Amino acid sequence: METPAFQKVQERKQVASVPLKELLAAQPGRLLLGMGTRFIEGFTFNLFSVYLLAYVVTNLKLPKSWALNGILLGGVVGVVLVVLTGRLSDRLGRKPVFTAGAWLALLFAFPAASMVRSGNHLLVSATFVVGIGVLYGVIYGPLAAFWAELFDTRYRYTALSSLYQISGVVASGFTPLIAAWLVQRGDGTLKWVATYNVAVAAISLVSAHFLPETQGRDLDEDWVPTATSQNAEPALAGAR
């Protein structure tokens, strides 16, 4: 079943014959910046649910339950916050809610490293609750709507798939490997992982800054001329 917006595109015979080609011609900057916002989302999830779990057990020799219980509770908190922040973005805008989450991730980077390294049961568990529950919940809540509203209907599916999958290789897939290498370089500490966290959050914040606010956008309207136009969108068009 197609969405009502795409059905209208079909009725107007404006379906893109080669969606990826039209996307890259019309909205390349928006695609790249959208990928940038994906970085902190993928990084946060994989840092707290994959790498730090292994770090607590393997490097610190602490009980696995300390991390797993924190992840479990964080998951419950995250489910609630994703819904709440998604609804909040309907009222305040996508960018304010997302950037709040990205800033929290940046500011929590070094405290998280210290809390895990403390070896204290409560602090270790709380790190995972905050990371998976609070940070990821706030970051992820507005993103589905934000990304969908960035692109025109006739190639929206291709845009979202490209944005999510391609950036996911860097933002998600390599996070545990990079973190393990940074820990090795940092003599077993998390200082370089925290620095990496700050850098990833900064990339996403800068990317969001140059993207337009999309809250309230009519999905039936095009950001750019129709598919027959040869005019490509400037990389940062509509950023302000």
Query: CA–CA separation, 1 vs 7, rounded Å?
Result: 9
Would residue 33 count as lying in a domain? no
Contact between residue 16 and residue 227 where contact means Cβ atoms under 8 Å apart: yes
- Give 123's contacts (C-beta < 8 A, 6+ positions apart): 115, 116
Would residue 133 count as lying in a domain? yes
Indicate if the pLDDT at residue 232 is higher than 90.
no
Would residue 238 count as lying in a domain? no
Would residue 15 count as lying in a domain? no
Contact between residue 136 and residue 48 where contact means Cβ atoms under 8 Å apart: yes
Range of the structural domain that residue 93 is part of? 55-209
Would residue 202 count as lying in a domain? yes
Of 25-39, 85-99, 194-208, the one with minimum mean pLDDT is: 25-39
Q: For residue 210, what are its two tokens?
A: 């140059």
Residue 213 C-beta-side C-alpha neighbours within 13 Å:
13
Q: How many domains does the chain have?
A: 1
Query: CA–CA separation, 147 vs 159, rounded Å?
Result: 9
Residue with more model confidence, 236 or 9: 9
pTM for the whole structure: 0.83
pLDDT, tens digit, for every residue of 165-176? 888 887 788 999
What percent of the chain clears pLDDT 70, i.e. is strictly above it?
Answer: 82
Nearest to 33 by CA among 204, 161, 169: 204
The predicted pLDDT at position 1 comes to 46
H helices present in the chain, as ranges: 4-11, 19-26, 28-46, 52-54, 64-92, 94-117, 121-128, 136-140, 143-150, 156-168, 175-185, 191-209
Would residue 68 count as lying in a domain? yes
Would residue 11 count as lying in a domain? no
pLDDT, tens digit, for every residue of 20-30? 778 887 788 89
The predicted pLDDT at position 169 comes to 85
- Give 120's contacts (C-beta < 8 A, 6+ positions apart): none
Would residue 239 count as lying in a domain? no
Indicate if the pLDDT at residue 224 is higher than 90.
no
pLDDT, tens digit, for every residue of 155-205? 888 888 888 888 888 778 899 999 999 999 999 999 999 999 999 999 999
Contact between residue 12 and residue 152 where contact means Cβ atoms under 8 Å apart: no
Place of tokens 């969908």: 148
Task: Tell me the average pLDDT across 23-43.
Answer: 90
